[in-house]
Amino acid sequence: MIHRPPDHPPVPEPKIGVLLVNLGTPDAPTPAAVRRYLAEFLSDRRVVEIPSLVWQPILRGIILNVRPKKSAHAYAQVWTEAGSPLAAITARQAAALRGRFGESVIVEHAMRYGRPAIADRIAALKAKGCDRILLAPLYPQYCAATTASVNDATFAAIAAMRWQPALRTLPAYFDHPAYIEALAVSVREGLAALDFIPDAIIASFHGMPQRTLELGDPYHCHCQKTGRLLGEALGRELVVCFQSRFGRARWLEPSTEQTLARLAREGMRRVAVIAPGFSADCLETLEEIAIRGREQFLAAGGESFAYLPCLNDSSAGIEMLENVIGEQLEGWIKRA
């Protein structure tokens, strides 16, 4: 018990914060909301590595006048009563983890772009007495455009504080045994629920420009290792590919779209697609893969297509997050 003088200002009991962070989402499936979101997202120097003097006129003069309407239509196809799937699932993940690390640990969530903002959540955790915070970017594979961007925003937020909390960051967990096992459990359950046996299982990861690999970003290697380890756990090789290309630059290959067409041409009539680079289902999985990917595969001659959901807030997914986050809290808390 800490005894303070009667005139001492109120001081919250020391707490530990865990901040889950995902990419982000518009506030609504409307062109105006998408425009605000894309303006923030595509202005991140980690995402678009083109000098601002060159890029901003293109972004403001062309992209933000053309793309929001198309993207809003895509968002509308996956929007739910709870809002954006990504935002709703990430909130549920945070809620499911509360209480799993003891009463002294407060679990919150934030979005790198959009709301709730990282700076706001860091300030809220600090106000609740968190003098130590574990930042947990929910990107299994490290990429400068994702993980490093979350770190940048967090460091910028605490840079404005006179009394800064101690900070830890969650390492990439692309090859963590708990992550691979959770994926394997999820995929097995998904396959068992199908009314067909897939000729191929496709692991589709978000794409990145080829130059990021050449500059030393480990993302491509992390994706390949996740695919290999998961294939070993399942007892069959996975087809690894990359989706969500943007612009004219060369991107990591093979592309998911080309892979779906190629497999259909080669006689693979039944496929199942997983997205092990995403911790929660979102526009890129629910619209780009589950809707458009299906259309592409069937149009190329395929017969049966299934998209298997991300780990989301499934029991296997939450247990995995508890495991990998709990490891990083060691020394701050005592684990049973």
pLDDT digit string (tens) for 253-293? 999 999 999 999 999 999 999 999 999 999 999 999 999 99
Burial class of 140 by CB neighbour count within 10 A (0 to 12, 13 to 18, 19+): buried
144 and 194 inside one domain: no
Is residue 230 domain-resident?
yes
Cα gap 278→308, rounded to integer Å: 12
Per the domain annotation, does 2 fall within a domain? no
Do both 80 and 224 map to the same domain? no
Note the pLDDT of residue 205. Answer: 98
Is the pLDDT score of 168 beyond 90? yes
Tokens of 88: 């709703």
Can you tell me the mean pLDDT for 283-312?
98
Residues 194 and 301 in one domain: yes
Same domain for 201 and 291:
yes
Angstrom distance (rounded) from CA 23 to CA 41: 9
Is 312 domain-assigned?
Answer: no
pLDDT above 80: residue 146: yes
Burial class (CB in 10 A: 0-12, 13-18, 19+), 202: buried
Residues 214 and 242 in one domain: yes
Answer yes or no: is 3 within a domain. Answer: no
- Statement: residue 117 has pLDDT above 60: yes
pLDDT value at 142 more than 70 = yes
* Distance between CA atoms of residues 141 and 249, nearest Å: 22
Is the predicted pLDDT of residue 55 greater than 80, yes or no? yes
- Mean pLDDT of the residues in the chain: 95
Q: How many domains does the chain have?
A: 2
The answer to whether residue 5 sits within a structural domain is no
- Give the pair of three-digit tokens for residue 104: 């002294």
pLDDT at 204 over 60: yes
Section 117-146 average pLDDT: 97
Residue-wise pLDDT tens digits, 58-107: 999 999 999 999 999 999 999 999 999 999 999 999 999 999 999 999 99
Domain with 77 in it: what CATH number?
3.40.50.1400
Whether residue 158 is found in the same domain as residue 189: no
Alpha-carbon gap, residue 164 to 132, rounded angstroms: 9
H-run or E-run covering 210: helix 210-214
Q: How confident is the model at residue 131 (pLDDT cuts 50, 70, 90)?
A: very high
C-alpha dist (Å) from residue 195 to 127, 190, 271, 272, 289: 52, 11, 12, 11, 19
Same domain, 201 and 229: yes
Tell me if 104 is assigned to some domain.
yes
Residues 185 and 287 in one domain: yes
* Whether residue 193 is found in the same domain as residue 167: no
* pLDDT exceeds cutoff 60 at 1: no
pTM of the model: 0.94
Report the pLDDT averaged over residues 298-307.
97
State the pLDDT at residue 246. 81
Q: Are residues 163 and 204 in the same domain?
A: no
Same-domain pairing of 212 and 270: yes
- Please give the pLDDT value at position 6: 77
pLDDT tier for residue 3 given thresholds of 50, 70 and 90: low
CB 77 within 8 A of CB 48: no
Q: How many residues would you count in the chain? A: 336
Q: Residue 323's domain spans which residues?
A: 15-173+317-329
State the burial class of residue 205 (Cβ atoms within 10 Å of its Cβ: 0-12, 13-18, 19+).
Answer: buried
Residue 10 lies in a domain: no
Distance CA 283, CA 78 (A): 7
- Answer whether residue 336 shows pLDDT above 70: no
The answer to the question of residue 9 being in a domain is: no
- The whole-number average pLDDT for the span 184-203 is 98
Looking at residue 7, what is its pLDDT?
A: 75
Residue 262: strand, helix, or coil: helix
CA trace torsion 223, 209, 279, 167 (10° rounding):
100
State whether 123 and 101 are in the same domain: yes
pLDDT in tens, 216-232: 999 999 999 999 999 99
- In tens, the pLDDT along 319-332 reads 999 999 999 999 99
